[in-house]
Amino acid sequence: MEEEWGGHEEEELRKLREETNVDSLRQELDRERSKRIDLEQKMNEVLKTRLEDSPPQPPRKQQSPSNNGTGTTLGEVERECV
């Protein structure tokens, strides 16, 4: 009879440890979630301030150097005309 009671107590202790472990894991998960949310908010604030601080820039078009047949680029011709 004593062995059964000892086994029952051990089982209860094991369950209690598992529940405590689950609770501590949940608490840790909640802490990590709130850290992530805080970091996301900070990132959004930084991105928002960067967008507000920088003037709107039109998309840049890539201009390949044009050649007018004389070996002079278009930019050089424009400078000579000014």
pLDDT of residue 69 exceeding 60, the answer is no
> What are the residues whose beta carbons fall under 8 Å from the beta carbon of 74, sequence distance 6 or more?
63, 65, 66, 67, 68
Q: What pLDDT digit, counting tens, does each position of 1-53 carry?
A: 444 556 889 999 999 889 899 999 999 999 999 999 999 999 999 999 988 88
- The residue ranges of every structural domain in the chain are 1-56
What is the reported pTM? 0.47
> Please, what's the b/e burial string for 40-60 (b: 16 or more CB within 10 A of its CB; e: otherwise)?
eeeeeeeeeeeeeeeeeeeee
Highest mean pLDDT of the ranges 18-22, 52-56, 69-73, 76-80: 18-22
